[in-house]
Structure 1
Amino acid sequence: MSTQQLQSKQSILEIENLSMAFGGLRAIDGVSMHIDEGEIAALIGPNGAGKTTIFNCITGVYKPTEGTVSIRNKNGQIEHIHGLKPDIINHKGLARTFQNIRLFNNMTVLENVMIGRHNSLKAGIFKAIVRDSSTKEEEQRVIEESYLILKKLKLDMYINETAGNLPYGEQRRLEIARALATDPFLLLLDEPVAGMNAQETKELEETINIIRDQEHITILLIEHDMSLVMNVSERIYVLDYGRLIAEGTPHEIKRNPDVIKAYLGE
């Protein structure tokens, strides 16, 4: 798709003919998809279909074998990001969570979120050592902003708790809070409700809607919980053996014979 088309549709993420090979294995094979500003989209498919590989290509963990990944950045400009390092992509406004929780378990809840604010810090090494007034003011700002994020995600009561001591559902939400601390315009959630009970899943469903509706952050998620996917998603992409086999609304996907055969079941 051309840059002009990308601009006209107000897509903020565009993937074109993306392929990823590991030796003789083609994990992703010519996938094209786009995510529009302000939507919640889902990427679903059987285990091993290539969903997380796509996330890794988007966020710089992998350099795609073929194809392009483009974003509309915070200044409204279109730029390619495939092949860039993860920290650079994060700085441009993309944040993600992982299938396996990756918190700093021995640090407090607040400290975990403060780490996510490092991209906004302006103080250099010298100022950090001498701790002048501007550095102290910046540190206080980071504390206040981190607390506000925790409050929005209903984690403020755990502010001084060690992250590793949180219940599983709260650890999942804390990982999202840390991702939000990087100030993204696009949030990628990799199986956010994996291992959660029904109540925790419901609470996280509400959190996902709050992030989109109140924080105006676009969301792309990978998830096997079809109830969550159908409830929150406006657009669903379906992968099977590294290829895109369907795209549509939840209503369309539920009735797509190829999707039923490959993933949802008869």
Structure 2
Amino acid sequence: MAANEHGGKLLEVSGLTMDFGGLRAIDDVGLDIFAGEIVALIGPNGAGKTTFFNCVTGIYEPTLGEVRIHPPGGASRRINGMKPNRITALGMARTFQNIRLFPAMTVLENVMIGRHCRTSTSIVDAILGSRKAAREEQECVEKSYQLLKKVGLAEVAGEFSRNLAYGAQRRLEIARALATDPFLLLLDEPAAGMNPQETHELDALITRIRDEEKVAILLIEHDMKLVMNISDRIYVMEYGKKIAQGTPQEIKENPKVIEAYLGEEAHA
């Protein structure tokens, strides 16, 4: 689907530039995401993809450029320099390349932590065990359990997260990000370390999240089969610059992209 066949614009990044000392890691990169889209950001190792994510989600403040979100039904706002937890509360959630679960907590508790930015119970309510606190806790448990069902982990809700297989830990991270009720979900290498069967299940899960939860998705991914299968549009970076954007078919046939990836394959 072309971008204009989707809903309104959700994320607008323009002129994004990030310098670390004398090194320019990202150079004048722009990107838009519309409601209902799955968009992939690809490129050889060291292209600047994770740095781009870190700038968009508040981990780094970009040197130049603008990151703007347009929450559905809410006011458009510039989020450069905002703290990551504030950005999450505004409706943009992410997962990380290196899994960041709480290993000594259960699978269900890991998802419940994601719900905390959506609860309004005060510490006083919690200490006094007010009716409001009890109701919110119950809603939190129910919502978290529903998300575990969605990602196929309901049967292991009481297990410690460290005991899960690698692919299941990745799905748990996605469930925890969804628990924040995002309108936009950023996935950093979700298929990393997965076997072909797990990748195939992830492919179906990401599409289902977009369709059922009405969440737009931006993903960084090295698995080209997954990218080509599920993306509406693809942006390609190399050496911190955007070198191409388009549909999977356009990207597959783009000489600049072929050249960038042939170089990587030669070193693989």
Q: TM-score range by the shorter chain?
A: over 0.9
* Alpha-carbon contact 1:74-1:93 (below 8 Å) kept: no
Amino acid at match of 2:172: L
Matched, 1:18 2:26: no
Structure 2 equivalent of residue 111 of structure 1? 109
Q: What SS does structure 2 have at the residue aligned with 1:17?
A: strand
Q: How much does 1:264 deviate?
A: 4.9
Q: How much does 1:92 deviate?
A: 0.3
Structure 2 equivalent of residue 50 of structure 1? 48
Structure 2 equivalent of residue 130 of structure 1? 128
The whole-number CA distance in structure 2 between the counterparts of 1:250 and 1:264 is 17
Q: Normalising to structure 2: TM-score of the pair?
A: 0.95
* Alpha-carbon contact 2:89-2:118 (below 8 Å) kept: no
The whole-number CA distance in structure 1 between the counterparts of 2:262 and 2:110 is 37
Note the 1:89-108 alignment, pairs <5 A.
89-108=87-106
Residues 198 and 9 of structure 1, relative CA distance in 2, 3 Å threshold: closer
Structure 1 equivalent of residue 82 of structure 2? 84
Structure 2 equivalent of residue 207 of structure 1? 205
Q: How much does 1:76 deviate?
A: 3.7
RMSD, aligned CA = 1.4
Matched, 1:232 2:237: no
Q: How much does 1:78 deviate?
A: 1.5
Q: What SS does structure 1 have at the residue aligned with 2:120?
A: coil
The whole-number CA distance in structure 2 between the counterparts of 1:12 and 1:121 is 24
* Structure 1 range deviating more: 79-88 or 68-77: 68-77
Q: How much does 1:60 deviate?
A: 0.1
Residues 9 and 18 of structure 1, relative CA distance in 2, 3 Å threshold: farther
The whole-number CA distance in structure 2 between the counterparts of 1:187 and 1:113 is 15
The whole-number CA distance in structure 2 between the counterparts of 1:214 and 1:264 is 37
* Structure 1 range deviating more: 256-265 or 226-235: 256-265
Structure 2 equivalent of residue 3 of structure 1? none
* Alpha-carbon contact 2:7-2:36 (below 8 Å) kept: no
Q: Normalising to structure 1: TM-score of the pair?
A: 0.95
The alignment covers a number of residue pairs equal to: 260
Structure 2 equivalent of residue 164 of structure 1? 162
Structure 1 equivalent of residue 137 of structure 2? 139
User: What's the CA shift string for 1:189-228, capped at 9, x where partnerless?
Assistant: 0000000000000000010000001111000000000000
**What stretches of structure 2 of length at least 5 have no aligned partner?**
none
The whole-number CA distance in structure 2 between the counterparts of 1:9 and 1:114 is 30
Amino acid at match of 2:139: R
4+ long deviations beyond 2 Å: 74-77
User: What's the CA shift string for 1:87-125, capped at 9, x where partnerless?
Assistant: 110000000000000000110000000000001111111
